[in-house]
Structure 1
């Protein structure tokens, strides 16, 4: 195969599906993974017909400990390797740390942090051998904000992905791998099924429209950033402004403001 292949997790909808569409439009072959087989197959059919590429749908639950190995083994069995990795799979876990079970919290950590780190670790050697690689970790503007009540691990996981991406990008540069880049993409509120799945759509719809972005410009910003070797990208002027304010305002003030705002879209009962 002459075309490069991009592996995208959480590709059945939203930002993940948009990553698939944009990489397909750039002429890449795709491996798309999620839990919903029908959604993956529908997307694969659409993109193969439109862009004349190969799309490999892989039904997999990243909460399972052996999911990363199964994905990569399936691709290797088809003679393919990963040239770009988009770690996008994720969801919100409504409620507080107190009123959610550890099984749910552990699965959340696995899907949103452990699996992206593991996949990155396992594709990097091949990227280094071939002298090319792109890794995009979909983090969040929440990784810049103070922690608030509800979705307790969300901000901490996203902050971890930001630091992880910065470190991987720095390691690749320091190790002489000049064409291997890792970027943390940090969107704010983005129109997708994310809030429908976690049951907060009614609350988030009450938020100002200027706080929202469509998925297409978010994804475009991520692809442009990783190609330039930028370790972090915050798409959108409003999001950039909020990220900057979290750094320059006094911490007690940002905690108060974040706590007030989060009550509008985070459930703590």
Structure 2
């Protein structure tokens, strides 16, 4: 167990913590001594994970069952943290899904839920927690984007546009918050071996892809965490993904970031 007084005094909020990259983040942070507030819909899984991590690393691990497609969920999560004396020092905005049907054939309630889950909820959670991080002079935020943010848009899918928003918003907020000790990173994985494709019903087609395209969630998390700790606003984990992303964008991500930071005519301070 890796633990010290600094990390033991800090707490990480992880959304979508019941599976995949969210679970991997929870395990990675627990091993470093961070206390945890785990959020997902499946409370039974959260409790099992909390018991595992508490036993293994002797940390505080709270759980809060919430469906982030509910507009009331982000405020309820932060209210729960405040009521229990939990200051959020690390935010892992991981919860997500992808639509499976054509836009015009999808009920608006489903589309609205997708936008709430992956656009509004993570943005609200950042807004509700970043102020405290800034006040304390330290914070880390990882937002799950995707290599899709660098890809051409797919027919009918909002996913590419959503993940592009996450990547760009993360960089903008990093520019604002970094001078105050708060780093924001967009983590942009490619194909990752999680339940995502089972939930989306795309496992059969995904399984036909070459093995070289796939990463384990633990590898994605390790690269993402190293990136946010190093102050890198965008992390594309894996050599294959880095090559693919660079081939799809005319300017390297780092150059885009520098230009956006220095040439913004609307910059406030």
TM over 0.5: yes
Where in structure 2 are the equivalents of 1:17-32 lying within 5 Å? Answer: 17-32=23-38
Offset at 1:190?
0.2
Offset at 1:248?
3.9
Where in structure 2 are the equivalents of 1:234-249 lying within 5 Å? Answer: 234-248=236-250
Q: CA RMSD in A?
A: 1.2
1:229-266 per-position Cα deviation (integer Å, ceiling 9, x unaligned) = 110000000000000010149xxxxxxxxxxxxxxxxx
Give the gaps of 5 or more residues in structure 2. Answer: 252-269
3-state SS of paired residue (2:104): coil
Give the number of aligned pairs: 245
Query: Which of 121, 124, 135 is the equivalent residue of 2:127?
Result: 121
Query: Which of 105, 108, 118 is the equivalent residue of 1:112?
Result: 118
Whole-angstrom CA distance in 2 between matches of 1:241 and 1:51: 37
Q: Which residue number in structure 2 is paired with residue 43 of structure 1?
A: 49
Q: Which residue number in structure 2 is paired with residue 259 of structure 1?
A: none
Q: Which residue number in structure 1 is paired with residue 257 of structure 2?
A: none
Q: Which residue number in structure 2 is paired with residue 71 of structure 1?
A: 77
Q: Which residue number in structure 2 is paired with residue 52 of structure 1?
A: 58
Where in structure 2 are the equivalents of 1:167-186 lying within 5 Å? Answer: 167-173=172-178, 176-177=179-180, 179-186=181-188
3-state SS of paired residue (2:106): coil
4+ residue runs of structure 1 moved beyond 3 angstroms?
none
Whole-angstrom CA distance in 1 between matches of 2:104 and 2:81: 40
Whole-angstrom CA distance in 1 between matches of 2:9 and 2:212: 39
Where in structure 2 are the equivalents of 1:1-269 lying within 5 Å? Answer: 3-150=9-156, 152-173=157-178, 176-177=179-180, 179-248=181-250
Report the TM-score, using the length of structure 2 for normalisation: 0.89
Whole-angstrom CA distance in 2 between matches of 1:92 and 1:201: 13
Whole-angstrom CA distance in 2 between matches of 1:3 and 1:49: 18
3-state SS of paired residue (1:85): strand
Whole-angstrom CA distance in 2 between matches of 1:158 and 1:247: 15
3-state SS of paired residue (1:112): helix
1:28-73 per-position Cα deviation (integer Å, ceiling 9, x unaligned) = 0000000001110110010000000011110001111111111111
